[in-house]
Amino acid sequence: MFFFLIASVFAESIVETVNNHPGATWVAVEYPPEVITTAKLRARLGAIDLNEGPSNYVPDTSLPDNFDAREQWPGKILPVRNQEQCGSCWAFAVAETTGNRLNILGCGRGDMSPQDLVSCDKVDHGCNGGSPLFSWEWVKHSGITTEECIPYVSGGGRVPSCPKKCTNGSAIVRTKAKSVGLVKGDKMQNELYSRGPFEAAFSVYEDFKSYKSGVYHHITGKMLGGHAVMVVGWGVEDGTPYWLIQNSWGTTWGEQGFFKILRGKNECGIETTCFQGTFAC
């Protein structure tokens, strides 16, 4: 008991380790359990089949030093959502990317439906995860409908079967991607600049849960799983290059639901598993 007490007094928490780290470019915070816990984090990490290997990211010096899709396309980037306790990040990343790209093209249908993918995409695994490659292929061949037609209901981890009609009884109308594919490293900035946000998947370590602000890089804790998100910008903060990313954990986590991650070092694999779809009105 005595040794246990000594150990717990002197063992640094993840938050202390990060905030005392001399090279840290980000700030950690202890979130209340309603925002996130380690158990909740594990339940949300549903990106599978992440690419391995080095980044082939090449900075595009012809583009501005800072870019934020929300400023480039005012009012077109849909708000931060919350996947809650379901490993549906893969479905949110695809739905959000699709919704924003349709908005940018001028034929937006509001939020698109992650539930459509969670319940209907038979090559992926609902709340147990999905593959960025397969889920984009699904949107190319089968399409995705609107949030209004099939609203998100899997936040508690339960996955209803694929509905035959929209909740109001009308026929389901799905939008298909014209083409889908990997965003290569030398095209990352240009893809975002010319067509809008795209999906990225990366490895999540324990310390990511406590991210509050700044440019994230892994400092402490073990790898817990893969997470899919949406890249919305890039920039340089206090000399550190970053990707600006929209998460799907609500607005009380991170920088109002967004985070920045180190750019150019393939931090946590963020520059190897990037996917996009193209659409037409």
Ligand X SMILES: *[C@@H]1O[C@H](CO)[C@@H](O)[C@H](O)[C@H]1NC(C)=O
When asked if residue 148 is in the footprint of ligand X (CB under 6 A), the reply is yes
Q: What is the CA radius of gyration of the chain?
A: 19
Stretch that binds ligand X, among 68-76, 90-98, 163-171, 191-199 (CB under 6 A): 163-171
Contact residue for ligand X among 97, 103, 146, 246 (CB under 6 A): 146
Which range of residues in 65-73, 164-172, 240-248, 268-276 is near ligand X by CB under 6 A? 164-172
In terms of residues, how long is the chain? 281
Task: Please tell me the distance from the alpha carbon of residue 222 to that of residue 233, in angstroms, as a whole number.
Answer: 27
125 is catalytic: no
Instruction: Label residue 264 left, alpha or beta by phi (over 0 means left) and psi (-120 to 50 means alpha).
Output: left
Of the candidates 100, 127, 149, 227, the residue annotated as catalytic is 227
Contact 210, 241 (CB under 8 A): no
Given 100, 127, 247, 274, the catalytic residue:
247
Which amino acid is located at 257 in the chain?
G
* Binding mask of the shown chain, residues 166 to 195, with x at each position contacting ligand X by CB under 6 A: x-x-x-------------------------
Give 231-264 as a DSSP string.
EEEEEEETTEEEEEEE-SB-SSSTBTTEEEEETT
Using the contact rule CB under 6 A, the part of the chain among 142-150, 153-161, 181-189, 204-212 near ligand X is 142-150
Is 113 within 8 Å of 88 (Cβ atoms)? no
Pick 166 or 182: Cβ nearer ligand X: 166
Least distance to ligand X, CB of residue 120, Å = 15
Q: Extract the tokens encoding 105.
A: 């093209």
Q: Is 89 a catalytic residue?
A: yes
27 near ligand X, rule: CB under 6 A:
no
| Separation of alpha carbons 21 and 216, rounded Å | 13
Closest separation between CB of residue 154 and ligand X, Å?
Answer: 18
Check if 227 is active-site: yes
Residue from 89, 120, 127, 268 carrying the catalytic annotation: 89
Catalog residues that contact ligand X under the rule CB under 6 A: 146, 148-149, 166, 168, 170
